[in-house]
Amino acid sequence: MSTEKQKVMHWLKNDNGRSLSGLFLKRGRNLDDVRAGSTFQRVHRDRMVETAQVLSVGTDTYGIPHVRFQVSFRRPNQSRFDGGGRMLALKSLADQYREHVSALEA
C-alpha cells in the first residue's frame, strides 16, 4: 500500500473519516478510485466537459486529505483547453466530480 493511501486510510479511522467513507459508498464510488492517475468528469449546463486527472493524494498538516489534479475543458464544438493544476480537499473533489471515467474516455 502506498504511503499516500496509508495516510488517507489512517485519516478515515477517525469519526469524520467514517462519514466521509460513507459518502463514497453512497455514490457507488470506492475510496480506491481516488488515486494518482484516476480521471473524473463533470458536465456543465452549457455541455462543456470538465475533466480532472488526479496527480496525487496526501494530507495537510492538520491531517485533512487533499487531492492535487490537472484539469482540462472540452467545449461542445470539440475545442479543448488546459486549466492547469489545482488542489481540493478530498471531500470537495468527491462533491464536484462524481463521474469516474477511464483515461481512454477522457
The per-residue pLDDT for range 81-103, each reduced to its tens digit, is: 999 999 999 989 988 998 999 86
Domain extent, residue 35, equals 3-101
Predicted TM-score (pTM) of this structure: 0.68
> In this structure, is residue 82 part of a structural domain?
yes
The pLDDT confidence band at residue 13, using thresholds 50, 70 and 90, is very low
> Which of the pair, 106 or 91, is modelled with greater confidence?
91
Mean model confidence pLDDT for the chain: 78
CB 49 within 8 Å of CB 105: no
> In this structure, is residue 106 part of a structural domain?
no
**pLDDT above 80: residue 30:** no
DSSP for the chain reads --HHHHHHHHHHTSHHHHHHHHHHHHTT--GGGSSTT-EEEEE-TT--EEEEEEEEEEE-TTS-EEEEEEEEEE-TTS-EEEEEEEEEEHHHHHHH--EEE-TTT-
Q: Given this model, what pLDDT does residue 103 score? A: 66
Question: Count of domains in the chain?
Answer: 1
> In this structure, is residue 48 part of a structural domain?
yes
> In this structure, is residue 83 part of a structural domain?
yes
Report the CATH number at residue 9. 2.30.30
